[in-house]
Homo-oligomer: A and B are copies of this chain.
Amino acid sequence: MSKTRKNAAILAIGDELLSGRTRDMNIHYIAGWLADRGIKTGEARIVADESQAIASALNELRTGFDYVFTSGGIGPTHDDITASAIAEAFGVGCPISEEAKALLQEWYQTRGEELTEGRLRMARIPEGAILIKNTVSGAPGFQIENVFVLAGVPAIMQSMLEDVDYRLDHGRADHVVTIMGKGLESQLAEGLRAIEQALYGVKIGSYPGKTGKGHNLSIVVKSLDKALAEQAAEAVAALFRSLGSEPEVIEGTKRPDEGGQKG
């Protein structure tokens, strides 16, 4: 655990995510996973399966953030071009890795299947990268410097994070309190601003959207300092009570699924 918290960017790769066909699942998952480890996601991007777009986004993100996580485009078909695009971004080659090839050979042999030419594509790894284990379908991801290249299929991507966890410098996670009540954002606006200004080190977000128990507004209070977060949460709860609504307060980083996108 380091004193300064690391930050991260996420780069989801895939035409299907920009055509309206598929709704990305991975940005949300990775961001939550990182938050639990005290690592803050500063930005996420979605780009198409185009070498130039991938390489240029990657080069911006890897110099701007401590870590970059990519998802997608490392499968066996012709439209899987992430590995070579990333090699291009780093200015290195992308040959068949003997280590990855051996790994795939063993994986398929054990299952009585063949290492076809398409599958062998998945052993192409940028020079200097180290592998990331895939316990779901064999073909590895890889890490090159501060960039972690993961699969796009959510279950596979999630299994790869297990082999990434110990490579990261965890930070202190925010203490999070969610206060849900009934009221209009505009009725709480002045009070929330006053609370945030009074308590340095507290960040407050306001999210309209139905929650359980007939509440329609979630206020999320965050601070590295637990006492400060609780003090802010108390003040927010008092605001709701002044509007005649008895709020529900949830401590901890478990994030409610309800409560929508804001503003």
Give the interface of A toward B (CB within 8 A).
12, 14-29, 31-36, 40-49, 53, 57, 71-80, 82, 116-119, 121, 151-154, 185-190, 192-193, 196, 203-209, 220, 255, 259-263
Residue of chain B at shortest CB distance from A139: B263
Is B189 in contact with A121, judged by CB distance below 8 angstroms? yes
Bound: A33/B19 CA distance, A: 9
Instruction: Assess A261 versus B20: contact at CB under 8 Å? Given A78-B193, A153-B209, A189-B76.
Output: no
Contact of A263 among B14, B21, B186, B263 (CB under 8 A): B14
Instruction: Note all chain B residues with C-beta closer than 8 A to A73.
Output: 262-263
Contact of A22 among B75, B77, B259 (CB under 8 A): B259
Is B19 in contact with A261, judged by CB distance below 8 angstroms? no
Bound: A74/B262 CA distance, A: 8
Is A189 in contact with B263, judged by CB distance below 8 angstroms? no
Residue of chain B at shortest CB distance from A17: B261
Bound: A80/B21 CA distance, A: 30
Is B78 in contact with A119, judged by CB distance below 8 angstroms? no
